[in-house]
Amino acid sequence: KQEVTQIPAALSVPEGENLVLNCSFTDSAIYNLQWFRQDPGKGLTSLLLIQSSQREQTSGRLNASLDKSSGRSTLYIAASQPGDSATYLCAVLSGGGADGLTFGKGTHLIIQP
């Protein structure tokens, strides 16, 4: 059974810093890995999706990498801003595909102004 772990569980940094969020998964037989953002009391917004054949994806100040063989992904946020404060969730799509995503518990990020 796929398990996803995110480290750290919480992170608080001053504005402007670059930071890295970590995600690991136990079964490397994945179709893709997706990073989401969740604001308090809200649904999930997809940030980046990395197919199993890809190594990284970039969107603006966000860069996600994938090392499928070692079961790891990182989300890099450059020049952090207070608006980046949210919970970031990592999820993998594995198995037959139709049974959905397996999520980590998330990293709660606070960017101090």
Partner 1 sequence: SQTIHQWPATLVQPVGSPLSLECTVEGTSNPNLYWYRQAAGRGLQLLFYSVGIGQISSEVPQNLSASRPQDRQFILSSKKLLLSDSGFYLCALFIGPVAFFGQGTRLTVV
Site residues, partner 1 (CB under 8 A):
4, 31-32, 34, 36, 41-46, 49, 51, 89, 91, 93, 97-106
Q: In angstroms, what is the minimal distance from the CB of 4 to partner 1?
A: 7
Q: How far is CA 111 from the centre of its chain?
A: 17
Query: 3-class DSSP state for residue 83?
Result: helix
Q: Which residues pair with 34 in a beta bridge?
A: 49, 91
Smallest gap from residue 14 Cβ to partner 1 (A): 27
To partner 1, the closest distance from the beta carbon of 51 in angstroms equals 7
The two three-digit tokens of residue 7, written as one number? 């480290």
Residues in the chain, total: 113
Give the DSSP per-residue string, 28-59.
--EEEEEEEEE-TTS-EEEEEEEETT-SEEEE
